[in-house]
Structures are given as structure tokens and as C-alpha cells.
Amino acid sequence: MPYPIICPLPPSFAEQRTQVSTALASSRAELRMQKAALVDALRSVSNTCTAVQSGITSHVVEARSLPAYRRLSADVDAASRQCKEGLPLRMKADPAANGGVRIVPLASRSMLKNLLGIGTAKRAEQAQALAVRHGMAGQAAVTRLTLSTALHRAEEKMDMTAVADTLARHAVAVNGALADAVRIAVGERGDEAGVAASCRLLFDSLNASVSASDFTLAVDDARQSIRMLQRPSVVLAGQMVTDLERQLHAIDTGIKEGERQQKVAARSRAAGHRNAPVQSFSDEQKVLAQLRADCEFDTMFHTTVGRRQIQKMFDGCASGVSGSAVINEIRERHGDDIFDKGARQFKQGIKCGADALTPARLHAIDRQAYATAYAGYREARVDFRTMHRQADHSLAMIETLRGMVGTQRLLQPARFLSTSDSALTVRTDPVVRQAGLHPVRFTLEGFSGMQTGSRWRFAGEPAERLFGTQARFLVQSVTKGRGGAWDIRLREVPVGLDAEAGTPLQV
């Protein structure tokens, strides 16, 4: 029996999985409904915060239109335009100015007057007048720095007043910790941006915080509704979904493991104890990976010159692959400076790998690739997959394959049989036609294909799977399609290592 029959799992597994899947779908729907309600509640809270922010901004604009603010701002602006940081100032009578005076630098061509601060400027009296005017009595001198400090204090005070008034107007009570945060935000910026930052604090606190007594009235009602949604609905529904997903995962894992064990038993019965793998699949994988790495096999095979020489080795050619030829081809494909961009170490590795890729090493890789795949097949960790290939063959070879249809005669690759999992890629890939040969499209179902890949492939270039000389295939059908191409279907037979030789398929 070449293909083992897999018995279905007990019905209890399927029934249990159906019940859990139904409950999971229902819980997910309930969770979506509860989340939608939560989003609506948060949107309402956001609208309230937007109204608060708008009110604060407009109130600040109103506050800054007051005469006291305008007078102080004008003084500082005038000083900023005319003076450097820390430069002494003086008042100068100016009937056209606001308040009848304006601020100018204390400047004199007399070095003595500048040093002593005396003269017609009457610096001390002017400083005292400025201090009284702006609430800074007691300071020895008034500079641009002190005026700026006073302005920021006034802004902070007016901003906080605007925030408090607007919050009160919207019936929002702010606790002490949040009020401190708002003061810090406003104090750092002292402008509308600072007010916006304070409103963002309000919104973030409302949106994320669940501490008690942060907000009251309308905002508190919205927060309370959110908490009520979160506790009995969203949280519980989310927990139920998580629990059901865990149950479903456990069931699926059990089903997969049960199916795998059944496959292992069926495949062991079909193959018997002969040709049983010596090592486990994981151990065989390690051996194969080391063999391929020691000779840079993937790099060699993914170049035209390397592939050609590797295939010739199966025909008895004793010469190996030229590392210099492989390097030159990589340069032609990717640019002359490819090994100058941090890839110099790869150049030396290619040369050493080419020297190590002898016919004996190639046959060892070929044999180990099948041993690895066969161990995985026996453990049900590797399964059949459909691959595609396009090549040219003689009419005699095609007739031989036609004669094998419906028989138990096995086909054996004479070299590596390169295949792709994309039928479209195979059909569009150009093939060099040779006189007297006919195009053939193969569809293979096999398990022992060795996947290859190289860092030097072009982006988007599909990976290949190589079926070696240890593989054996049954020919299922041979038909001639449109355009004169032949369509041939093959299916691999798990015969184990060193099986009886089959009819060679010359590649």
C-alpha cells in the first residue's frame, strides 16, 4: 500500500470544537457591541472637553484685552525691542505714549554717569516709579528680565482665572492634583498653547483615569457610565473571549497532534520497519544544514555556472565549481562593487565553499536531503506538496513516461530536479529550446524536495525545491496540451533510503 489511509478522529473532538467555536463567535460579537458603546461614551466625554477648551481659550482672549494687561505688555514689548537682557531702563516723559511715559535704555556718553547711575536720568526715582506701577516695590532696579517675570506671573494668574471660570461655567470640579498639573502646564507656556495643554490634561485624565472625584456633574456621569461599561461588560466579555480562545487553541493542538500520531502509525505500518530513519527529523536537519553550509551549496546552486557544474557532477564529472566564476557572476548580476559594501567576508567564504564542494560532498548532500525529508515524513512533520517544473525532453523519454502510466514502475531523477511552488512562474520562465526536444510541464506531488535560497538572489525571485536521486515517483498521467507542450503528473512514493533503482529521468 503506497499511500496510507488516515482514519478520522473521534467525533467528540469535532463536537467539542464546534461548541467552543460557537461560544467564541457569540462572545466576540458581544465584545464588539460593548466596545462600540464604550466608544460612544468616550466621544461624549471628548465633546465636553472640547467645549471646556473652547471656553477657556475665549476667556483668555477676553482677559488679555483688559487695560492693565495691555499696559504691562506694551512696556515689556518696548523694552524688548530696544534693550538687551539686564540693561538698566529709565522712564521718559512722552505725552503720546500710554500713561504719558515710555521706557528707554539708561544710556549716556558719560562713563561716570553710567557707572554711578546718576545724572539727569534720575534712575532711582524712575525705578521706584516702575516698581510701584507694576507691583514690584522694593526692587533696586527694573530691567527687561524683571518686567518679563512680572508679565509671566500676570499671564499665569489670568490664565488660571480663565481656566477656573470656564470650568465653573461648565460645572467641572477639578481636584487638587489635577489643578496643580494645570498650573504647571499654563506656567510653562503662559499662552493659549498652555491653556490647550491644560485642557489636554483634563481630557487625558478623563479618558484614562479611574480615580474617584476627579470630575463631577455631567463629566462625572459620563465617566461613571464608562466605568459601568468596563466592569460588567467589556472586561467580562474580553475575559470570556480569551478563555474560549485558549480552549479552542488547546483543542486544535490536540486535534493536530492526534492527526499527526495517526499519520505516524499509518506510515510506519505502510513502510514497515525496513528503511526506518536512524535519527529524528530534527537531528537529520542539523546534519543537512551543516553539510550545505560547509560548501556554500545554496550560493553555488543559485548561480548559472555553479548549477551547471553541480549537475555535471551527477554525470561523473570530477571537477568542482570555480569560486572565481561564481564571484564574477554575482558581480555581473549585482554590480562590480557588491563585495565592497560590507560583504568582503562572503567573497572568501565562496572561494572556500567552492573548494569544499566535491562530488563526494554533493552526493552526501543529495543523500542527506532525502534522509531528512523521509524522517520528517515518517514523523508526520513533512507532507506532500504540489510543485511545478518546465523542461525539454526527447520524444523517446516522453514515450517512456507514457508507458509507465498505470504501472508500479518508478521514476528516478538522474540529477537534482529543480521545481517551484508557483505554476505561473514556471510557465513564464524562459526555457532555451534545443533542437529535437519537446517542452514538458511537470506537476509533482512530493515530500522530499529540499528548499534552497541564497542571499544573492534577486528580490522577488521564487525559492526552489530540489528532488534528488534518492526520490522515486509514479507517473500518473501524460497528456499533450495546447501549443504542443506535454503535461505530465508525477507523485512521489516514500520508499526510504537506497531503494531499488528506477527508470532514470534525464534532466
Q: pLDDT by residue (tens digit) across 409-443?
A: 999 999 999 999 887 766 655 555 677 889 999 99
The residue that leads in pLDDT, 218 or 262, is: 262
Region of poorest pLDDT, from 266-270, 296-300, 468-472, 497-501: 266-270
Tell me, what's the pLDDT at 171? 43
Q: Which helix (H) or strand (E) holds 202?
A: helix 192-208
Tell me, what's the pLDDT at 121? 47
476 burial level (CB within 10 Å; 0-12, 13-18, 19+):
middle
73-77, 350-354, 405-409: range with highest mean pLDDT:
405-409
Task: State yes or no: pLDDT of 246 exceeds 60.
Answer: yes
Tell me, what's the pLDDT at 443? 95
Tell me, what's the pLDDT at 253? 77
110 vs 182: CA distance, rounded Å: 50
237 vs 28: CA distance, rounded Å: 8
The percentage of residues in the chain with a pLDDT greater than 70, rounded to a whole number, is 50
The residue that leads in pLDDT, 186 or 354, is: 354
Tell me, what's the pLDDT at 434? 74
- Model-level pTM? 0.54
Q: Which helix (H) or strand (E) holds 446?
A: strand 437-446
Q: How far is CA 419 from the centre of its chain?
A: 31
Report the relative pairing of strands 486-492 and 437-446 from DSSP bridges.
Answer: parallel
Q: Are 306 and 353 in contact (CB under 8 A)?
A: no
Give the single-character DSSP code of 420: B
Region of poorest pLDDT, from 50-64, 116-130, 239-253, 410-424: 116-130
Tell me, what's the pLDDT at 436? 80
Task: State yes or no: pLDDT of 266 exceeds 60.
Answer: yes
The residue that leads in pLDDT, 478 or 429, is: 478
Task: State yes or no: pLDDT of 92 exceeds 90.
Answer: no
The residue that leads in pLDDT, 440 or 458, is: 440
pLDDT tens sequence across 287-306: 999 999 999 999 999 888 99
Q: What's the rounded mean pLDDT across residues 275-297?
A: 87
Q: Are 99 and 114 in contact (CB under 8 A)?
A: no
Which amino acid appears at position 443 of this protein? T
Q: Which three cell numbers stand for residue 457?
A: 538572489
505: which strand partners?
A: 413
21 vs 44: CA distance, rounded Å: 35
Tell me, what's the pLDDT at 361? 94
Q: Which architecture, in CATH terms, is 281-505?
A: Alpha-Beta Complex (3.90)
The contacts of residue 293 (CB under 8 Å, 6+ apart) are none
Q: What's the rounded mean pLDDT across residues 98-123?
A: 51
pLDDT tens sequence across 154-193: 555 555 555 555 555 444 445 555 555 555 555 554 444 4
Task: State yes or no: pLDDT of 133 exceeds 60.
Answer: no
Tell me, what's the pLDDT at 210? 31
Tell me, what's the pLDDT at 73? 54
Give residue for cell 478520522.
8
496 vs 471: CA distance, rounded Å: 8
Widest CA span in the chain: 124
Tell me, what's the pLDDT at 54? 63
Task: State yes or no: pLDDT of 450 exceeds 70.
Answer: yes
Task: State yes or no: pLDDT of 446 exceeds 70.
Answer: yes
The percentage of residues in the chain with a pLDDT greater than 90, rounded to a whole number, is 26
Structure confidence at residue 470 as a pLDDT band (50, 70, 90): very high
388 φ, ψ to 5°?
-135, 150
238-247, 268-277, 491-500: range with highest mean pLDDT:
491-500
Q: What's the rounded mean pLDDT across residues 251-265?
A: 76
Task: State yes or no: pLDDT of 363 exceeds 70.
Answer: yes
Structure confidence at residue 393 as a pLDDT band (50, 70, 90): very high
Structure confidence at residue 111 as a pLDDT band (50, 70, 90): very low
Q: Are 446 and 385 in contact (CB under 8 A)?
A: yes
Q: Which three cell numbers stand for residue 189?
A: 507656556
Per DSSP, the three-state class of 447 is coil
Tell me, what's the pLDDT at 120? 45
105 burial level (CB within 10 Å; 0-12, 13-18, 19+):
middle
Q: What's the rounded mean pLDDT across residues 73-78?
A: 52
Structure confidence at residue 82 as a pLDDT band (50, 70, 90): very low
Tell me the CB-side half-sphere exposure of residue 218, using CA atoms within 13 A: 14
